[in-house]
Amino acid sequence: MIVDFSIAPIGRGESLSAHIADAYRIIEASGLSHEFHAMGTNLEGEWEEVMSVVNACRLRLLETCGRVSISLRIDDRKGPHGRLDRKVASARGKAGL
């Protein structure tokens, strides 16, 4: 499965990068295939693995923030891993990029 998720503390001011850096460290340490982007992160793995990482990020932010907003989009499909890279490469190839 591929999950696109964003997480942000509520009520912590305009700049959130210090809080998001904590989530980045958790994601990097997870060993899951991932891709950071300006509005969130794509994660690839099995349900339990991915949700465990999202929950770890949530718990970490809740240590310093009273409220956290999380958005998830899930593409759950049977088949081999590695779709995160293949999906982008396929679209780029068809676009001639």
Query: What CATH number should be reported for the domain holding residue 44?
Result: 3.30.70.930
- Tally the domains of the chain: 1
Could you report the per-residue pLDDT of 10-24, keeping only the tens digit for each?
A: 987 677 888 889 999
Containing structural domain, residue 71:
2-94
- Say how far apart CA 59 and CA 93 lie, in whole Å: 39
pLDDT at 3: 96
Could you report the per-residue pLDDT of 35-83, keeping only the tens digit for each?
A: 999 999 999 999 999 999 999 999 999 998 999 999 999 999 887 777 7
> Among 23, 18, 34, which residue's Cα sits nearest to residue 56?
23
Report the pLDDT averaged over residues 80-88: 76
pTM recorded for the entire structure? 0.85
- Strands of the sheet containing 33-37, edge to edge, are 33-37, 40-44, 2-9, 68-75
